[in-house]
Amino acid sequence: INKILHNYPRRSIMSFLEDRSKSDWQSLDSEHYLHPFTDHKDLGNKSRIIAKADGVYVYDIEGNQILDGMSGLWCVNIGYGRSELSEAAASQLNELPYYNSFFQCANPPSIELANKLDKITQKQFNKVFYTGSGSESIDTMIRIVRRYWEVMGHPNKKTIIARKNAYHGSTIAGVSLGGMNAMHKQGGPLLPGIEHVDQPYWFESDRSHSPDDFGKKVASQLEEKILEIGVDNIAAFVGEPIQGAGGVIIPPDSYWPEIQRICNHYGILMVTDEVICGFGRLGEWFGADHFQVKPDLMTFAKGVTSGYLPLGGVMVSEKVSSAIIDKGGEFAHGFTYSGHPASCAVAIENIRILDEENLVSRTKNEIGPYLQNKWKSLEDHPIVGETRMVGLMGAMELVPQKNSPQRFDDKSTAGMTFRNFAVNNGLVMRAVGDTIVTSPPLVISEEEVDELVEKAWICLDHTQSEMTK
Ligand code: PMP
């Protein structure tokens, strides 16, 4: 293990911060800071204070180097420490730090970015609505979809069909549209007019069908749901091209084309939530490009700025935008930070780098296949039941026995054991139950991929020995 521990000298953090000890930071944190997705009783005074980052590595307050196999929260696509982005932000903040885009106003970076987004998205898209996050993008998308049907003269078409175990954010609309049981249990009532169908999770199925037959069978639930609720009440279907937070659930190839066929047949809108899959993650600009489907709307966030500043949005097709504009008048919706000039300036620079450094095609043709190949070799480990990956987004399933759908009795213990050991030994990966997921920065090098996979193997050994104790 010592071999894989890298201790880097502590570097100074920004001068306006007081130079506190690690334990000071931790106790102040625990006193005043309510964290997202955290059980504070477990956290106590143990928060991991990340103080610096460069390339694919983050460094904690003591200088320990950790390979970020998650790109932060699936967002730092071009890696850390890109001064082009911080300089773009600084110069825009000096020029025009803020102005709103309500009431017939705009600013140059937001217009420029809209133009760039038009170029990298499919032909049907001609407009973008800006938000500050993925969750706001989801709320906005729901309002656009429902507005579309209102102006089209179908005010009853309100229901949106999504999938179980999907993640679409943490606002009330995001939680409601998502299919996470643990989230549904808290803070209800949820938004009405949302229905959920099964996810295309072949590994967890009874495996009585081939993956392709399974994909079509799960997709057919959309049709059943439309018939059950009545097509006159259905507005749209929404899905992540690959479910991220749910455990990197890669649908069989048959799934998305069948979803498209059903949406077209019944004339309902199709939405891909590209918050994770967009901006090169799957080796194409967007997940819809990878699965070769043509959505009417796409929500995005995260990778649009590589997470350097908050920004999200909804790409709107000509069909939808022209209806809302021509038939609808004012769309009564917007955020203070819609089209924030500094975020848009960072996004422009981020897209330029993705493009000029060929990071999207590199993900598809070079580093993606390189990692996929190494990732597959983890299937040789006795506790790995399956590995899967598209582009640079993958998962592996931890199981007690190979070639059996059986899971560990104590669900999530194996995943947590892996995850905790990994982060203490210089590697961030996320555990979703007993599914380990990874999504490293698109700039990761071959040597860094080797390190990621070598460390993952050691974590598997450790997990196996803990689980047999
Ligand atoms: N949609 C998807 C697919 C996501 O993965 C996420 C965040 N992980 C969101 C929406 C919500 O984004 P945010 O956290 O920026 O609100």
- Convert the pLDDT of each residue in 161-219 to its tens digit: 999 999 999 999 999 999 999 999 999 999 999 999 999 999 999 999 999 999 999 99
Is pLDDT above 80 for 17?
Answer: no
301 lines ligand 1 (CB under 6 A): yes
Q: Specify the pTM.
A: 0.96
Q: What is the residue with the minimal CA distance to atom 13 of ligand 1?
A: 134
Give the number of C-alpha atoms closer than 13 A to the C-alpha of residue 345, restricted to the C-beta side.
20
How do beta strands 234-239 and 159-163 pair?
A: parallel
Distance from C-alpha of 29 to C-alpha of 195, rounded to nearest angstrom = 39
- The 10s digit of each residue's pLDDT in 245-260 is 999 999 999 999 999 9
**Structure confidence at residue 276 (pLDDT):** 98
Compute the average pLDDT of residues 288-311: 98
CB 315 within 8 A of CB 358: no
243 lines ligand 1 (CB under 6 A): no
- The letter for the amino acid at 177 is L
How do beta strands 269-273 and 297-300 pair?
A: parallel
> CA-CA distances (angstroms) from residue 100 to 106, 136, 282?
7, 17, 33
Compute the average pLDDT of residues 396-417: 92
142 lines ligand 1 (CB under 6 A): no
Is pLDDT above 90 for 4?
Answer: no
- The 10s digit of each residue's pLDDT in 313-362 is 999 999 999 999 999 999 999 999 999 999 999 999 999 999 999 999 99
Q: What is the residue with the minimal CA distance to atom 7 of ligand 1?
A: 169
**Structure confidence at residue 14 (pLDDT):** 53
**Structure confidence at residue 19 (pLDDT):** 77
**Structure confidence at residue 8 (pLDDT):** 46
Is pLDDT above 60 for 9?
Answer: no
134 CA from centroid of ligand 1 (Å):
4
**Structure confidence at residue 16 (pLDDT):** 57
Strand order in the sheet with 234-239: 125-131, 312-317, 297-300, 269-273, 234-239, 159-163, 194-197
Cis peptide before 189 (omega within 30 of 0): yes
Q: Which atom of ligand 1 is nearest to the CA of 73?
A: 8
Distance from C-alpha of 154 to C-alpha of 157, rounded to nearest angstrom = 6
**Among 367-376, 403-412, 435-444, which is the least confidently predicted range?**
403-412
- The letter for the amino acid at 266 is Y
Distance from C-alpha of 27 to C-alpha of 22, rounded to nearest angstrom = 9
68 CA from centroid of ligand 1 (Å):
19
169 CA from centroid of ligand 1 (Å):
5
Is pLDDT above 60 for 6?
Answer: no
Helix (H, G, I), strand (E, B) or coil at 300: strand
Is pLDDT above 60 for 11?
Answer: no
- The letter for the amino acid at 252 is P
Q: Which residues pair with 243 in a beta bridge?
A: 249
169 lines ligand 1 (CB under 6 A): yes
Angle, in degrees to the nearest 10, between helices 108-120 and 341-356: 40
133 CA from centroid of ligand 1 (Å):
7
